[in-house]
Every structure is written in C-alpha cells, then in structure tokens.
Amino acid sequence: MKILVTGAAGFIGSHLCEFLANQKHEVIGLDAYTDFYSRKQKELNAAQVNIAGVPILEYDLKEETFKKALSTDYDFIFHLAGQPGLSDRVSFEEYARNNLLATVHLIDFAIENKNLKCFVNVSTSSVYGREATCTEEVAPEPASYYGVTKLAAEQFAMSQHRQGKLNACSLRLYSVYGPRERPEKLYTKLIDSILTSKEFPLYEGSENHSRSFTFVGDAVKGLASVIENAEKCIGEIINVGSDQEVKTGEGIKLIEELMGKKARFKWHSPIQGDQTQTKAIIGKAKKLLNYQPSTHLREGLQKQIDWYIQEFEKLSV
C-alpha cells in the first residue's frame, strides 16, 4: 500500500511511519517542523524514520503548496499533524489554523486520490471534555481550544464522508506516552526533571486526575489496524487507548521508583480545560480493529526512561 503520514517527525507519527515501513508499505511523511517544541527533537525522530526508509517532506498544511509535491495515488492517509496539547501561549486562532484549516486543505487533497481506501483522522479523547469515560456515541463536550478544534477537524472529515466524497474514519487516542514523547508532556518532563535535579511543575489537583495512559506502540498498532479493516472502519469514530485507569500521582511514583530518585515539585494553579478523568472504553476498537493493548505502564515507562537517558545529551544540546 502507498501511505501518506502527516506529522511524520512527531512523537506518534514517527513511530507509525517506522511501523508501516516495517510492514513493507510504501510510506511518505509530511511535517511542518513547527516551533511548538525543539526542532532538534523532531530531527532526531526524522533521522530514525529515514533509516526505516521513509522520506519526510517539509510542508505546512496551512499552505496548499504541499499538493504540488505529492502524487494522487495514495491508498491511505493517516493525519496526525496539528497543534497539540493545552497551552496558554497558543491562541485559539493558532489552534484553529493548525487543526481545522490544515485538515480542510489535506482533505481537499485526499479527495483527489481516486483510489483512496480510507482517510484516517487521528483525534483525541480531549474532544469529550473534562471527563472522557464514555463510548463513542456520547456527545462530545470539549473544554479547551485544543479539544474544540480537534472536534471540528474530525467532524469536517466525517462530513465529507457523509456527503459521499471521502472514505474516512476517526480514531480518538488516549494519553499516549513512550519514547519520543514531546518535552512538555508529563513523563518526559518528569524524567528530565529528576535526571537534572530540576523542580517539576505540578498543577494543583492534577496528581488526583486519572488517565488511560497508552503506550505509543499499542496506539500505533491500533492505527495501523485500519489498513486490514478499512471497510469496517469507514464512517466510524473509534476510541483507541488503554482500558486501565491510573492516577497521575501513581504514575509519578512509578517513575520515581524506576529511576531510584524522588522528584522535587513546584506547585502551580490548575490548567484551564484540563481533563480530570479519562478511561478508554474500547469495545468498538476490539470489535472493528481486533485492538488489544498489551503494554503495562511499568514496562512502557521503563522504555521511555531508557530512551531519554540514551538521547539526553542530543536532546539537551
């Protein structure tokens, strides 16, 4: 299969590119290398993707110039590019351009691919709102700019399917962690804080929040499973995550145990729009994708710690 992956130099996208290449698919990556976090980390990710035989083209989906660089004979498009996470330094306009406008441009291109079997939109549990503990049939109530714009992008993709213009599905991922996790995310930032003896910023009440922490390898297998199950997935929205719920404080203690050192905390006011509870209800993913997450949190965190220690000097230069 010929497959296009956007956000290919990012955390999840880079792993997906490698996985698909190892499955002998022809994979092309796109990434804008935005300045949301260090370009150096993305370049390290991209180097590993290139070793797997996947080229990554540097284009911003907000501009439509990428269309001229691509052929229109893709079998699948996996759309992971976007403005991630919760940040008070990112305006709503930026979220809207990077998540919605970029998706509109990509879908316009996808429609030109007459043999496209499925456009796979990669969404997030943040569309559900402050609590994400429900099935896909529950009406979303996003509480953040991120959640609002990811929901809008998802619904634009699904609207094109409903109009008969595009075979599409959307997979909502839950709290993905593991090697190459972005530097502002919980576990990478915590590992770095302990390794460098820096204070770790912890937001009031967040230690009692619970999450379906999902190892990146399990998430990638769920995404890739669409290829073999495309006909069943078209028109569907599917939760993909771990069905094990863990409090953030428990995850922090596990990192401390694995690293043999306590973290020093600096307390901050709560983040607006942050989720208080997520628990992935994945019956639909099991049915349609034969999805079976298998990585326990301890195992996944050890892999992330090992990766960070190995890459520390490169990431900190």
3-state DSSP assignment of residue 121: strand
Entry field: residues in the chain: 317
Please give the sequence-ordered ranges of beta strands (E in DSSP) within the chain, or none if there are none: 2-6, 26-31, 56-58, 76-79, 118-124, 131-132, 168-173, 176-177, 199-203, 210-211, 214-215, 237-240, 246-247, 264-268, 277-278
Helix (H, G, I), strand (E, B) or coil at 42: helix
CA-wise closest residue to 253 among 208, 310, 212: 208
Residues 6+ apart with CB under 8 A from 184: 37, 85, 87
Q: DSSP labels for 70-115?
A: S-S--SEEEE--S--S--TTS-HHHHIIIIIIHHHHHHHHHHH-TT
| Rounded CA separation 10/33 (Å) | 8
Amino acid at 144: S
Residue 166 near residue 112, CB atoms below 8 Å: no
Verify whether residue 146 is a known catalytic residue.
yes
- Name the catalytic one among 128, 145, 146, 177: 146
- Distance separating alpha carbons of residues 297 and 213, to the nearest angstrom: 7
Coil/strand/helix, residue 212:
coil
Known catalytic residues are: 146
